[in-house]
Amino acid sequence: MIRRLSHTCVYVLDQDRAKEFYTEKLGFEVRSDVRMGSEFEGAGEGFRWLTVCPPDQPDVEIILADPGMGHDAESAQQIRALVAKGAMGPGAMTTDDIRKTFDELSGRGVVFTQEPVTRPYGVEALFRDDSGNWFSLTQPNA
């Protein structure tokens, strides 16, 4: 029986820039940052295993993955194009005070494509990471 989700993947265009964005702008913590060897099938010369998570949620790690990890060159290029285009919306994040979080993140240079708006499920804002992935930031209804 599956008990829980431990990792989820976000494809990024540059892992160093993504690490800086997720830690310095979003306030996440690095959980893993290691080079994996060529012994993994499809890894070629190897790949970088880089994971981050919010400080209050260490049990779910976000893999900041290079699109080439586990993909052939053509597929990796297609993923890069979709990420850069802003076509990937990998998830939603929650906060207890969206207006305060919106102000804090905006002050750190996070680009919001939608300011906080009241929705049936709560208050939502949309932002993009440094690669082009977009996320919903939501303060759920009580």
Q: How many CB atoms lie within 10 A of CB 10?
A: 19
2 falls within a domain: no
98 falls within a domain: yes
Domain holding 111, by residue range, is 7-140
What pLDDT is stored for residue 40 in this prediction?
54
Backbone dihedral region for residue 122 (phi beyond 0: left; psi -120 to 50: alpha; all else: beta): left
Q: Is 128 exposed, middle or buried (0-12, 13-18, 19+ CB in 10 A)?
A: middle
What pLDDT is stored for residue 45 in this prediction?
65
110 falls within a domain: yes
- Strand 91-94 and strand 29-36: the pairing is unpaired
Per-block average pLDDT, block size 10, for the chain (142 residues)?
Answer: 94 98 98 80 71 95 94 94 93 96 98 97 97 97 91
Of 116, 83, 72, the closest CA to residue 97 belongs to 116
Q: What CATH code is carried by the domain that includes residue 93?
A: 3.10.180.10
114 falls within a domain: yes
What pLDDT is stored for residue 53 in this prediction?
97
The dihedral over CA atoms of 107, 14, 9, 104, expressed in degrees to the nearest 10, equals: 0
Would you say how long the chain is, in residues? Answer: 142
What pLDDT is stored for residue 142 in this prediction?
86
Number of domains in the chain: 1
23 falls within a domain: yes
What pLDDT is stored for residue 132 in this prediction?
96
1 falls within a domain: no
